[in-house]
Amino acid sequence: MSSFVISYFCPSFSPLQFQNINTLVVIAFHILCSAIPVCRVRGGELGGGHMRKRIWLVGVVMWVLAIGILAEEAAGNVTVYDVLRKHGLPVGLLPKGVKSYALDEDGKLEVYLEQPCYAKFENEVFFESVIRGNLSYGQLAGVAGLEQQELFLWFPVKGIKVDIPNSGFIYFDVGVVYKQFVLSLFESPPDCRPVTNGDERLIIEMPRSTDRFQLSQTSRKAVLRKNDLPTRAVQ
């Protein structure tokens, strides 16, 4: 909208100049200068009343333009860390070096990193180059692209949530349990170590919290049996 107003009053104004709020001064100068020729009609000058109306109109346009510039700049400066904070989650859930992100109106969040990397909270975690999840207040569900290490094993993180109201803890859903961490570990985005050729991870795909393992006597393999298994938090 602000770009349209600029082009209408100042056709010679280059869009490349429209970079920050400081250019509002330049825009105002163009608009005020345009008010004088606008007030001319065939056969002479308009009266003082018409001139005042024109100046009032220019003032309104400048006000709308200023609001538009502020809104555009504010939208462009919102980071994914701001989005997490707005939804009651700590900014340290994501590492430094986020390249970009996308969030739709349904809460589907996609975060793009420069490359896969490792970070460390209490335990080491692994970030894929793309992390996905469904964002709502206090939780990120359906997470993909994040793994947590326990001893020498890696477990995909399925969801992340905090208590409402805040209890000072955050929980990672790794399948059959919620891993509990102190919220203060996530106060700021951690550094992220790039993946090297020697890095290997043994990934354990855990069942959902509503499933349980039962050992089959015939196959000697663990098979899933549907059952309501209460979740528990471990530290």
**Model pLDDT for residues 139-156, shown as the tens digit of each residue:** 999 999 999 998 889 999
pLDDT digits (tens, 9 = 90+) for 72-114: 445 558 999 999 999 999 999 999 989 999 999 999 999 999 9
84 and 200 co-located in one domain: yes
Q: Which of 170, 129, 179, 171 is nearest to 149 (CA)?
A: 179
Say whether the peptide bond before residue 165 is cis (omega within 30 degrees of 0).
yes
- With DSSP H G I counted as helix, E B as strand and the rest as coil, what are the percentages for the chain, rounded to 5? 30, 35, 35
Give the separation between CA 205 and CA 224, rounded to whole angstroms. Answer: 12
Instruction: Determine, yes or no, domain membership for 182.
Output: yes
92 and 119 co-located in one domain: yes
DSSP element (H, E) containing 62: helix 48-76
> Residue 23, Cα to own-chain centre: how many angstroms?
28
pLDDT band at 224; cut points 50, 70, 90: very low
Q: Which of 75, 76, 66, 77 is nearest to 21 (CA)?
A: 66
Give the separation between CA 3 and CA 101, rounded to whole angstroms. Answer: 25
Instruction: Determine, yes or no, domain membership for 63.
Output: yes
Give the separation between CA 101 and CA 94, rounded to whole angstroms. Answer: 11
Lowest mean pLDDT among 60-74, 137-151, 197-211, 214-228: 214-228
Domain housing 19: 2-76
- CA dihedral defined by 132, 231, 210, 217, rounded to 10 degrees? 120
- pTM (predicted TM-score): 0.57
52 and 119 co-located in one domain: no
DSSP element (H, E) containing 202: strand 202-203
- Mean pLDDT across the stretch 115-124? 92
Give the separation between CA 188 and CA 95, rounded to whole angstroms. Answer: 8
Q: What is the mean pLDDT of the chain?
A: 73
Last residue of a domain, one of 18, 46, 76: 76
Instruction: Determine, yes or no, domain membership for 103.
Output: yes
156 and 68 co-located in one domain: no
Instruction: Determine, yes or no, domain membership for 18.
Output: yes
